[in-house]
Structure 1
């Protein structure tokens, strides 16, 4: 069945919401979350303050949509990586893609991974959006053979798979493995370990904490990724 055509009013509403978000992203880039001001957005796009509230109930409503958009964008960047060959080359390509998006869009990275905004609660869909970013990592680590030192974490995540159907479904979506397959726990362990490693290095770089130090953040991340690949004996 063909999709129902949108009315002019619906198209106008969609366009206006997009314009509001575009201005909000510019404000975010210029002054962080505190720089996002609905009244200034309304003025820039030619709306009255009350009229803007017909599109977004408040700043938190707008921020929630920006958070979801940011997760969608970084997921698209990661999903575009060709991981068909698997192994450490695929893992390296994934971490590089994540870093490239983050340093190109530091204001959006900090929105989703920086200091939590006081009083703001991210929408429930955020969890699935975040998991989508890590999905390709699951498929890469599913082929791993973790070293014995990872056994304590592996056991805990095996229990998580068993106890949380949503997590099991997520892993199966990306690996095709049921929760009872030991490789499913290996995949989850790898993705969980990759996550703080990514944010530790990328977050410090985006925040400018490596300025004046004698190394390239890109090189540091590559070395850390190689060490993670070694821990899972990825080829």
Structure 2
């Protein structure tokens, strides 16, 4: 196939990049809405979702703390205000069929992102991130425990031992930093931040309908200007 023919191929993969962080509740909700929007398309298999690393709170301690403690340490306020906000997001998530535990812990996510890059190198980045995040918000795992991450890795067909090795070193640290830097260059200030085939971007957790519209616009733009993708 010639280069020109490949460029105009209607089945060319459309890459959707999502800058996200593990503990971000809107990343959790937005991820599922984006998945639903893609699943509703007849060409769903054409879309490739790629997770990109972005730390919402790079100064967070490595020792896990409660969500209330983490928010108050970073932003001030009081525990009741934090829990009120959490309950609002919990109700929204549950209306969409997503479990949402209020007993989650918070800690620095840099090491988690390093494991995501190992998983991505093995073709399992999104699957690993999604499984870990879903189980975290369901209150089923402590993702800051190396053994818990190793078990999640094994659930998606990766090596738990390799995860432990990554966590014991600084492997993939440069890749995590590079993702964050690229995100900031693209204008990321918060997550989720979704980039559609490097054509359009959406900040925040959009509705299923808005994601669906963005997917359609991306496909249309790709068809009219394939070389830009």
* Structure showing greater Rg: 1
- Determine which structure has the larger helix proportion and give its number: 1
User: What is the TM-score normalised by the length of structure 1?
Assistant: 0.22
- Determine which structure has the larger strand proportion and give its number: 2
Q: Which one scores higher on RCO, CA 8 angstroms, separation ≥ 6?
A: 2
User: What is the TM-score normalised by the length of structure 2?
Assistant: 0.22
